[in-house]
């Protein structure tokens, strides 16, 4: 048997156990003694029927030991014995059976029927499991009452009163039936009125002079204290607590469904089905990790025994979500590790050789990342790594090391960039870097090459004449084949779809893969979305913090901004103007930028103003970029973010129009294009949006990591798991900053389960259940 009575007992006992710890193991957590309570409960008939003799005996012993000598040691004996009983209880019904029950539509549950089920389906609640996992918006504490005298000074507040039913009357007023109740306590009286609630009069009259709980907004009107349509409850047995002495949940509702009915339904459903929530942790794991039982957590979310306990409950449920995610990611990672990869040999000499090609010393983080690459390449398993870091942190140069080691092992390295301009820039960097090494030859592969150029590049790749290639998604075309490819690098991975990346990676057998993110990835995101990858981070910038002054400017402040822009031009430096992003239409973007260019020409008559937009042909773009690079003072107007991914050292100011249309990370990345040489630089965020709290983050910080964290916080936890897994459970519960330790804990627990697969059966069932059927 697996009864709800047992569940209720465990729930109560665990709260008491928590108190025992708080009270220093005194056996005082429950009135008349914790052990007395436990002995009484465990001697009841239902308990005896539910548990085998051996376990009950064990419990009796442990109880006695604690009773005689309440101490930490005895407490732990008791705790683990209770755990054993609960483990027994947990496994009374096979998980698959419980899961099937949880997936039943509510319609067939006690107290529902088609009509109520229909109402709940409007809240996206169809199945029992949906209902149980839809949490209250908040709770109200009904354990606290005020006297009527106190209520006089609490007008407008929702107040709870415990009083006596003194007098009941009824009258008709303008088509309404008004029932009035005079309720008294030892400090005074108040009048509660009920409008059109026909059954109320009879009910109240039957209980004249009985105690009543009232909860409602207090008003002082016509010289009297009033409550209109209060919630009320007449306790059946004064010794037993009523819902009015609990913490009560408050749910999101829909028309036709009242808070009281909702509560009644969830209470009933919990009563019946909490016993069907499978627990995948054993009691010893729960004790070790200090986490609550899964069913208890769910139950405390709805009807908590204390507020402190709701926080523990929330943590357990968040931990579950993190654990499902981490287990899946790490399992994938382990599988990947088992594959045979291309083992490369990297000598110390090779590493020194690479460093000698560079005009500067690598930073500490760069060196560390390079070492991580080396380990991967030599491991015999395919590398599967993410590298992230701020704009300008020097990721490209470290990626160059990866290419160098690959080529020195007589394999090919392929670098895929999101745009042609970026591909060219990277190609230029690498050709000059490797110019002194005769054994290295690179090709550039772009979609817009002439037929002849393309054929030449294709041949070089296929024949092995080229040892490295830089290009765009042109690489994924079917006819592009490689000769001994071993390493793929994908820059700004988010600009490519998963499918696109896959199409590239299948062109080699178990290649080493490095994906790079142009901006830092918040730590929660790194673990949840990239948990299947190894992660390298570059925190420090090679040239130290950039000296960029960022200012939010409204249209009316343009004159003062232009003065600064003039001073920039006077120093023979250059300016970018980024036009607003109009997602719907590229032609609107173009029109906008053409107009902007005219405006700027009028304002800066003696200055060269260039325009770059998405509809221009490649050689036109190249031409413009070249002109801008060569000019001594110039302004470049650009429509898209993409085109600005360029390294022009003398650019020291950027104006971003309609900055509110860009994401924070994107703005930060854009602004990284100025001040490439640590010169004093400016970034003006032009916006007339009324609320600029988001943009202020950029004004205050130049640190991409901090910005990424804040940005994620603003966008909310829904972002964490991408689209598929962004179940609303998660958004309801998780607090990004605060819960990071839980994510790390989940990772640790997941690792332990993976190291000991025989213990992971129940967890895997839970994950499968979640993935297969509970996409909320
Ligand atoms: P990212 O790709 O991370 O945005 P890059 O690799 O383009 O950054 O590097 C930004 C700039 O810093 C480049 O001009 C690069 O040559 C330079 N750089 C990279 N590493 C170092 C270093 N260790 N010391 C000095 N300059 C560096
Ligand atoms: Mg880069």
Residues sharing a CB contact under 8 Å with residue 54, sequence separation 6 or more, in sequence order: none
Mutate to test the pocket of ligand 1, among 392, 401, 423, 541 (most ligand atoms within 8 A of CB): 392
Taking Cα atoms as reference points, which of 243, 257, 226 lies closest to residue 302? 243
Q: How far is the CA of 392 from the centre of ligand 1 (A)?
A: 5
| Biggest alpha carbon–alpha carbon distance for the chain | 104
Q: Is 422 in the pocket of ligand 1 (CB under 6 A)?
A: no
Q: How far is CA 619 from CA 448, 609, 615, 623, 646, in A?
A: 9, 18, 12, 6, 16
pLDDT band of residue 25 (cuts 50, 70, 90) is: very high
- Cβ neighbours of 275 (radius 10 Å): 21
CB 756 within 8 A of CB 539: no
In angstroms, the CA 198 to CA 333 distance is 65
User: What is the average pLDDT across 148-162?
Assistant: 92
Taking Cα atoms as reference points, which of 729, 718, 774 lies closest to residue 524? 718
Check whether 146 has a pLDDT greater than 60.
Answer: yes
Q: State the ligand closest to the CA atom of 357.
A: 1
Take atom 25 of ligand 1 and give the residue whose Cα is closest.
542
pLDDT band of residue 645 (cuts 50, 70, 90) is: low
Q: How far is the CA of 546 from the centre of ligand 1 (A)?
A: 13
Pairing of strands 534-538, 468-471: unpaired
In angstroms, the CA 492 to CA 514 distance is 11
The tokens of 256 are what? 């036709």
pLDDT band of residue 776 (cuts 50, 70, 90) is: very low
**The predicted structure's pLDDT at residue 775:** 45
The tokens of 365 are what? 């983080």
**The predicted structure's pLDDT at residue 536:** 96
**The predicted structure's pLDDT at residue 725:** 45
Decide which of 258 and 730 is more confident: 258
**The predicted structure's pLDDT at residue 234:** 83
In angstroms, the CA 458 to CA 280 distance is 54
Take atom 6 of ligand 1 and give the residue whose Cα is closest.
394
Taking Cα atoms as reference points, which of 329, 328, 320, 285 lies closest to residue 301? 320
Q: Is 389 in the pocket of ligand 1 (CB under 6 A)?
A: yes
SS3 232: strand
pLDDT, tens only, 234-283:
877 665 556 666 888 989 888 888 888 899 999 999 999 999 999 999 99
Q: Which three-class secondary structure string do you get for 152-173?
A: CCCCCCEEEEEEEEEEEEEEEE
Taking Cα atoms as reference points, which of 619, 666, 676 lies closest to residue 424? 619
User: What is the average pLDDT across 591-607?
Assistant: 90
- Cβ neighbours of 452 (radius 10 Å): 8
C-alpha gyration radius of the chain: 34
Q: How far is the CA of 60 from the centre of ligand 1 (A)?
A: 69
**The predicted structure's pLDDT at residue 460:** 96
In angstroms, the CA 724 to CA 343 distance is 35
Take atom 19 of ligand 1 and give the residue whose Cα is closest.
394
pLDDT, tens only, 476-517:
998 899 999 999 999 987 777 778 888 888 899 999 999 999
pLDDT, tens only, 646-657:
678 889 999 999
Q: Is 392 in the pocket of ligand 1 (CB under 6 A)?
A: yes
**The predicted structure's pLDDT at residue 240:** 57
DSSP symbols for 37-104: HHHHHHTSHHHHHHS-HHHHHHHHHHHHHHHHS--HHHHHHHHHHHHHHHHHHHTSS-HHHHHHHHTS
pLDDT band of residue 728 (cuts 50, 70, 90) is: low
Check whether 585 has a pLDDT greater than 80.
Answer: no
The tokens of 651 are what? 């650019």
In angstroms, the CA 653 to CA 573 distance is 8
Q: How far is the CA of 529 from the centre of ligand 1 (A)?
A: 26
Q: Is 393 in the pocket of ligand 1 (CB under 6 A)?
A: yes
Distance of CA 734 to the CA centre of its chain: 7
Q: State the ligand closest to the CA atom of 539.
A: 1
pLDDT, tens only, 406-464:
999 999 999 999 988 889 989 999 999 999 999 999 999 998 888 999 999 999 999 99
The tokens of 313 are what? 């409950």
- What's the mean per-residue pLDDT of the chain? 90
- Alpha helix stretches (DSSP H) within 133-224: 148-151, 198-206
Helix%, strand%, coil% for the chain, nearest 5: 50, 15, 35
pLDDT, tens only, 532-547:
899 999 998 887 777 8
Residues sharing a CB contact under 8 Å with residue 729, sequence separation 6 or more, in sequence order: 133, 135, 317, 321, 776
In angstroms, the CA 638 to CA 408 distance is 40
**The predicted structure's pLDDT at residue 652:** 94
Q: Given the CA of residue 491, which atom of ligand 1 is nearest to it?
A: 2
Taking Cα atoms as reference points, which of 438, 439, 445, 483 lies closest to residue 463? 483
Phi, psi of 285 (to 5 degrees): -65, -40
Residues sharing a CB contact under 8 Å with residue 31, sequence separation 6 or more, in sequence order: none
Mutate to test the pocket of ligand 1, among 369, 394, 432 (most ligand atoms within 8 A of CB): 394
User: What is the average pLDDT across 728-740?
Assistant: 79
In angstroms, the CA 659 to CA 642 distance is 16
Query: Which residues are bridge partners to 161 per DSSP?
Result: 146, 214
Check whether 45 has a pLDDT greater than 90.
Answer: yes
C-alpha distance across the termini of the chain, in Å: 31
Take atom 26 of ligand 1 and give the residue whose Cα is closest.
542
**The predicted structure's pLDDT at residue 721:** 65
Range with lowest mean pLDDT among 481-485, 487-491, 584-588, 618-622: 584-588
Helices (H) and strands (E) in the chain, counts: 30, 21
CB 238 within 8 A of CB 212: no
Q: Is 249 in the pocket of ligand 1 (CB under 6 A)?
A: no
Q: Given the CA of residue 399, which atom of ligand 1 is nearest to it?
A: 6
Q: Given the CA of residue 397, which atom of ligand 1 is nearest to it?
A: 6
pLDDT, tens only, 698-718:
999 988 899 988 888 887 776
In angstroms, the CA 246 to CA 197 distance is 25
Q: Is 360 in the pocket of ligand 1 (CB under 6 A)?
A: yes
Take atom 17 of ligand 1 and give the residue whose Cα is closest.
394
**The predicted structure's pLDDT at residue 643:** 52
The tokens of 741 are what? 């330790």
Range with lowest mean pLDDT among 537-541, 584-588, 661-665: 584-588
Share of the chain above pLDDT 90, in %: 65
Q: State the ligand closest to the CA atom of 672.
A: 1
CB 190 within 8 A of CB 154: no
Query: Which residues are bridge partners to 442 per DSSP?
Result: 468
In angstroms, the CA 257 to CA 122 distance is 11
Q: Given the CA of residue 393, which atom of ligand 1 is nearest to it?
A: 3
Give 617's DSSP letter: -
Q: How far is the CA of 665 from the centre of ligand 2 (A)?
A: 14
Take atom 23 of ligand 1 and give the residue whose Cα is closest.
362
Check whether 583 has a pLDDT greater than 70.
Answer: no
In angstroms, the CA 475 to CA 673 distance is 27
Distance of CA 454 to the CA centre of its chain: 44
Q: Is 362 in the pocket of ligand 1 (CB under 6 A)?
A: yes
Q: Is 396 in the pocket of ligand 1 (CB under 6 A)?
A: yes
């Amino acid at each position: 048997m697996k009864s709800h009575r047992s569940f209720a007992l465990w729930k109560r006992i665990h709260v008491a156990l928590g108190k025992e710890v708080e009270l220093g193991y005194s056996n005082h957590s429950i009135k008349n003694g914790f052990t007395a309570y436990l002995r009484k409960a465990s001697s009841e008939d239902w308990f005896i029927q539910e548990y085998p003799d051996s376990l009950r005996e064990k419990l009796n012993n442990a109880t006695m030991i604690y009773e005689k000598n309440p101490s930490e040691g005895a407490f732990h004996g008791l705790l683990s014995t209770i755990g054993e009983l609960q483990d027994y209880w947990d496994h009374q019904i096979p998980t698959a059976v419980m899961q099937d029950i949880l997936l039943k539509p509510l319609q067939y549950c006690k107290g529902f029927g088609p009509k109520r089920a229909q109402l709940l389906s409007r809240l996206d609640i169809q199945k029992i499991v949906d209902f149980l996992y839809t949490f209250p918006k908040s709770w109200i504490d009904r354990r606290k009452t005020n006297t009527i005298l106190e209520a006089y000074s609490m007008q407008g507040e929702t107040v709870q009163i415990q009083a006596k039913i003194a007098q009941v009357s009824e009258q008709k007023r303008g088509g309404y039936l008004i029932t009035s109740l005079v309720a008294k306590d030892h400090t005074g009286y108040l009048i509660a009125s009920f409008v059109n609630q026909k059954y109320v009069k009879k009910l109240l009259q039957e209980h004249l002079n009985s105690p009543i709980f009232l909860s409602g907004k207090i008003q002082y009107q016509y010289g009297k204290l009033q409550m209109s349509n209060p919630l009320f409850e007449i306790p059946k047995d004064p010794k037993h607590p009523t819902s009015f002495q609990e913490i009560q949940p408050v749910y999101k509702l829909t028309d036709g469904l009242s808070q009281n009915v909702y509560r009644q339904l969830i209470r009933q459903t919990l009563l019946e089905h909490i016993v069907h929530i499978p627990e995948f942790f054993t009691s010893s794991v729960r004790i070790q990790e200090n986490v609550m039982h899964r069913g208890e957590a769910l139950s405390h979310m709805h009807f908590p025994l204390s507020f402190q306990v709701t926080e523990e409950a929330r943590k357990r449920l968040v931990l579950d979500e993190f654990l499902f995610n981490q287990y899946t990611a790490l399992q994938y990672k382990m599988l990947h590790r088992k594959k045979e990869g291309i083992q490369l040999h990297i000598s110390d000499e090779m590493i020194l050789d690479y460093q000698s090609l560079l005009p500067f010393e690598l930073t500490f983080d760069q060196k560390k990342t390079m070492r991580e690459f080396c380990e991967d390449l030599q491991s015999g398993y395919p590398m599967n790594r993410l590298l992230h870091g701020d704009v300008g942190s020097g990721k490209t140069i470290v990626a160059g090391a990866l290419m160098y080691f690959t080529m020195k092992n007589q394999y090919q390295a392929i670098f895929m960039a999101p745009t042609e301009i970026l591909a060219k820039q990277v190609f230029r960097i690498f050709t000059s870097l490797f110019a002194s090494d005769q054994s290295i030859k690179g090709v550039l592969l772009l979609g817009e090459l002439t037929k002849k150029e393309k054929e030449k590049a294709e041949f070089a790749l296929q024949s092995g004449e080229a040892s490295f290639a830089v290009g765009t998604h042109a690489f994924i075309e079917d006819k592009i084949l490689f000769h001994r490819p071993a390493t793929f690098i994908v820059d700004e991975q988010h600009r490519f779809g998963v499918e696109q990346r896959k199409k590239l990676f299948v062109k080699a057998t178990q290649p080493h893969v490095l994906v790079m993110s142009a901006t830092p990835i918040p730590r929660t995101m790194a673990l949840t979305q990239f948990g299947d990858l190894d992660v390298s981070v570059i925190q420090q910038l090679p040239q130290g913090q950039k000296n960029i002054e960022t200012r939010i400017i409204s249209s009316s402040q343009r004159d003062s901004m232009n003065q600064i822009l003039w001073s920039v031009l006077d120093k023979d430096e250059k300016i970018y103007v980024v036009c607003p992003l109009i997602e719907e239409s590229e032609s609107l973007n173009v029109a906008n930028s053409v107009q902007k260019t005219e405006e700027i020409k009028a304002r800066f008559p003696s200055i060269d103003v260039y325009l770059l937009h998405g509809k221009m042909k490649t050689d036109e773009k190249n031409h413009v970029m070249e002109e801008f690079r060569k000019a001594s003072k110039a302004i470049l107007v650009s429509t898209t973010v993409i085109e600005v991914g360029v390294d022009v050292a003398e650019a020291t100011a950027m104006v971003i129009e309609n900055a509110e249309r860009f994401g924070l990370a994107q703005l930060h990345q854009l602004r990284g294009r100025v001040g490439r040489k640590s010169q004093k630089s400016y970034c003006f965020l032009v916006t007339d949006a009324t609320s600029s709290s988001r943009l202020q983050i950029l004004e205050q910080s130049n640190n991409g990591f901090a910005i990424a964290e804040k940005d994620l916080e603003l966008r909310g936890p829904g972002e964490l798991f991408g689209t598929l897994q962004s179940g609303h459970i998660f958004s309801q519960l998780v607090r990004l900053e605060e819960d990071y330790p839980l994510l790390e804990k989940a990772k640790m627990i997941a690792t332990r389960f993976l190291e000991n697969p025989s213990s992971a059966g129940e967890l895997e069932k839970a994950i499968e259940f979640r993935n297969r059927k509970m996409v909320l």
